Amino acid sequence: MAESTSATPWVRIREAVDHVGATVEIRGWVTHRRSSGKVQFVMVRDGSGQIQCVAGKKDLSEAQWEASESLTQESAVIVRGTVKADTRQVGGVELGLSSLEVVSLAPDYPITPKEHGVDFLMDHRHLWLRSPRQQAILRMRAEIIATFRDFMHAEGFTLVDAPIFTPNACEGTTNLFETQYFEDKAYLSQSGQLYMEAAAMALGRVYCFGPAFRAEKSKTRRHLIEFWMMEPEWAWATLEDIIRLEERLLVATVGRVLDRCREDLKIVERDTTKLERVKGPFPRIHYNDAVRMLKEAGREFEWGGDFGAPDETELSNRYDTPIFVTHYPAAVKAFYMEPDPVDPRLSLSCDCLAPEGYGEIIGSGQRMSSLSMLEQRIDEHGLPQSAFEWYKDLRRYGSVPHSGFGIGVERTLCWIAGLDHVRESAAFARMLYRLAP
Ligand code: 4AD
Ligand code: MG
């Protein structure tokens, strides 16, 4: 409850149910209106829910009644009235109006209840956000992010913010966004990982959470140009430790969304029985076994290659929970992966693939410990040694085994909310052909 301009308390629609019998004020936007001549039914939303407002001609002043008759979709209103229990209504209440103030009358709102094409909706993304489905998605995104932070904090990890302007590449040089930095060149961060490795040697357990930028020339349903990633880094941790941490995080995240976002999951029509099955431990598949499984399934796949989206789907469709694919060839991974002591062609890496074809949501691994091997990998990847001198210091001074991962918010949200395209997973998604609004 917040302060109101009148003696009537301003409540959010979600809270109205706690005020049955009382007079309250609600501030919101009109979604639709109908009238029986003598009675007006105005549906109002305020971001917390929607409520049917009912007014007879004699309930309002003449001017207010007239104004109510001209209300259009997305007009802004302040309404006051008595909260009445009504089990037929969403939220279990309706509002019997005693006052209606039109704050702003909206002419010809472009998004109507009829079907619109995706391009039209994306061009009007600033308005599309007001639709119930988009609101539900944004609330679930916020819940997922809150869970990430709460979970890491509870696990004893300290939040350390990584820079956005960086002088060096972390995830390869092919998708860097270059920008001018006074006399120098800088890149927009692809990942905060290298900085987290430094911070982990200071604080032991750290994570960063921020935007990542990749000039990916791929127009797929899971690639964004700008996405948000949480990246924990853990000193002394092995690949095994970090996989277990990922497992706990995913179980906690799905559990909390199921617990707190029931209504939103209903709005997006998510089959929640699939989410209820997300309990650890998740299956683990060694790269060599994954290759064998793909071949047995009739897919053409050469040992040593990276998995494409159809390969990932083939593997993950066999299970109800996320799966961990481990020990990828070093050649298909970034320069910083620790070699597998059992087979040095492989790396101590792990990708987490979400079920139902949602693909990779986490990339993780144990980090390279040997300075000389690290230098060799930097050369092999065509990276300049000079840009990594500071990073190599982490191997010179008190180097210890350490591991970490990066989890993408949008991909995780797509899976949990059952979205079939990543464009709905961010308020203003940046994609290959989309920079506006
Ligand atoms: O696998 P990636 O590239 O790993 C890293 O960046 C590591 N440095 C992370 C670390 O170990 N600290 O990216 C990690 C995750 C992916 O699994 C995916 O969820 C997300 O980030 N991601 C993207 N999401 C949307 N659009 C893109 N273009 C993405 N690229 C990666
Ligand atoms: Mg990856």
Mutate to test the pocket of ligand 1, among 217, 229, 336 (most ligand atoms within 8 A of CB): 229
245 lines ligand 1 (CB under 6 A): no
- Alpha carbon dihedral 277, 220, 231, 364, in 10-degree steps, equals 70
Q: Give CA separation, 303 vs 286, 289, 313, 366, in Å.
A: 12, 10, 18, 22
Residues pairing with 286 in the sheet:
326
Backbone angles phi, psi at 159, to 5 degrees: -70, 125
Per-residue pLDDT of the chain (437 residues; tens, 9 = 90+): 555 556 899 999 999 999 999 999 999 999 999 998 899 999 999 999 999 999 999 999 999 999 999 999 999 999 999 999 999 988 899 999 999 999 999 999 999 988 999 999 999 999 999 999 999 999 999 999 999 999 999 999 999 999 999 998 889 889 999 999 999 999 999 999 999 999 999 999 999 999 999 999 988 999 999 999 999 999 999 999 999 999 999 999 999 999 999 999 999 999 999 999 999 999 999 999 999 999 999 999 999 999 999 999 999 999 999 999 999 999 999 999 999 999 999 999 999 999 999 999 999 999 999 999 999 999 999 999 999 999 999 999 999 999 999 999 999 999 999 999 999 999 999 999 999 99
Place of tokens 């990932």: 312
From ligand 1's centre to the CA of 304, what distance in Å? 21
Closest ligand to 328 CA?
Answer: 2
230 lines ligand 1 (CB under 6 A): no
Strands 205-213 and 158-159 turn out to be parallel
367 lines ligand 1 (CB under 6 A): no
> Which tokens in the block code for residue 65?
């009644």
Q: Give CA separation, 431 vs 213, 312, 322, 329, in Å.
A: 11, 22, 26, 29
Give the relative orientation of helices 371-380 and 389-396 as an angle to the nearest 10 degrees: 160
Q: How many CB atoms lie within 10 A of CB 430?
A: 15
H or E element, residue 151: helix 132-154
**What is the model's pLDDT at position 219?**
87
411 lines ligand 1 (CB under 6 A): yes
102 lines ligand 1 (CB under 6 A): no
From ligand 2's centre to the CA of 137, what distance in Å? 24
For 407, counting Cβ atoms within 10 Å of its Cβ (0-12 exposed, 13-18 middle, 19+ buried), the class is: buried
Contacts of 211 (CB under 8 A, 6+ apart): 164, 189, 226, 227, 228, 229
d(CA 346, CA 288): 10
Q: How many CB atoms lie within 10 A of CB 184?
A: 9
Quote the pTM value. 0.96
> Which tokens in the block code for residue 277?
């099955």
> Which tokens in the block code for residue 166?
């960086």
User: Which ligand 1 atom is nearest residue 196's CA?
Assistant: 12
d(CA 237, CA 230): 17
Closest ligand to 223 CA?
Answer: 1
From ligand 1's centre to the CA of 409, what distance in Å? 9
d(CA 345, CA 331): 8
From ligand 2's centre to the CA of 363, what distance in Å? 5
